[in-house]
Amino acid sequence: RKEVEQDPGPFNVPEGATVAFNCTYSNSASQSFFWYRQDCRKEPKLLMSVYSSGNEDGRFTAQLNRASQYISLLIRDSKLSDSATYLCVAGWTDKLIFGTGTRLQVFP
Amino acid sequence: GAVVSQHPSRVICKSGTSVKIECRSLDFQATTMFWYRQFPKQSLMLMATSNEGSKATYEQGVEKDKFLINHASLTLSTLTVTSAHPEDSSFYICSASREEGSSYNEQFFGPGTRLTVL
């Protein structure tokens, strides 16, 4: 079983749509959680940290459920520029464990 | 701020040769640097963690004699793939953190090095 599991997608959505990604992690000792964005053949870039209380950054909302070991990312009002692969990440000690990513394609 | 560079960005080499990849933190001191590998359509896999001035800590399954890591200064870490083979072809990405010891510390990623071994 992978340590961080995500639906690989792709999710094909029209501009303006709301899309949600889910992720589960297996290590209950995980301490920190993040969503990263990775464009094709580029390095990952931090999108946002994820907290138990839930947090929002503009059109992006992240939620963490420690009991279920579940993380989510909601993107509202999708833009063409949101097309990318979204990586769910769980951290413990000083390590980051990456999921394989969920591919999002936003079309006009 | 917090810029990490990698060199080279792309390398093609013959089987059996060694390849060195440099990772530099340009505007901050990186106490800890991480090396990842990403195969097509797969996740980033942590290969090793290195702290300045000490030996790298390798993840299970990563051969330390094949992937030599040196973190000689607070701004430079190098990864040498020795006797590279086609199965070593991958996207190698480094990251750097200002502090050590916690995954809460943000990691700043380099742009990656695409290695192709013929």
Residue B3 has pLDDT above 70, yes or no: yes
CA distance B21 to A19: 38
Q: Is the pLDDT of residue A42 over 70?
A: yes
- The tokens describing A27, both together, are 């290590």
pLDDT over 80 (residue B89): yes
Most confident of B27-31, B79-83, B96-100: B79-83
Mean residue pLDDT across chain A:
93
Partners of residue B46 in chain A, C-beta under 8 Å: 95-97
Residue B105: per-residue pLDDT: 75
Q: What percent of chain A has pLDDT over 70?
A: 99
Q: Nearest chain B Cα to A47, which residue?
A: B106
Split at pLDDT 50, 70, 90, the class of B98 is confident
Higher-confidence position of B106 and A20: A20
Facing B43 at nearest CB: one of A45, A92, A101 = A101
Whether A43 and B110 lie within 8 Å, measured CB to CB: yes
Q: Which residues of A touch B111 (CB under 8 A)?
A: 42-43
Does the pLDDT value for residue A96 go beyond 80? Answer: yes
Interval B9-49: pLDDT, tens: 999 999 999 999 999 999 999 889 999 999 988 889 999 99
Question: B93 and chain A: CB distance < 8 Å anywhere?
Answer: yes
The mean pLDDT of B70-92, rounded to a whole number, is: 94
Interface residues from chain A to B (CB-CB < 8 Å): 2, 4, 8, 31-32, 41-46, 87, 91-101
Residues A47, A49, A51, A54: what is their CA dihedral angle, to the nearest 10 degrees?
Answer: -20
Q: Which three-class secondary structure string do you get for chain A?
A: CCCEEECCCCEEEECCCCEEEEEEECCCCCCEEEEEEECCCCCEEEEEECCCCCEEECCEEEEEECCCCEEEEEECCCCHHHCEEEEEEEEECCEEEECCCEEEEEEC
Say whether residue B49 is in contact with chain A using an 8 A CB cutoff: yes
Strand-pair category, B19-25 with B45-51 = unpaired
Does residue B37 contact residue B91 with C-beta atoms inside 8 Å?
yes
The pLDDT of A39-66, averaged and rounded, is 92
Contact yes or no for B102 and A31 at CB 8 A: yes
Per-residue pLDDT at A93: 82
Cis peptide before B8 (omega within 30 of 0): yes
Note the pLDDT of residue B1: 67
CB contact under 8 A, B103 and A95: yes
Q: Is the pLDDT of residue B103 over 70?
A: no
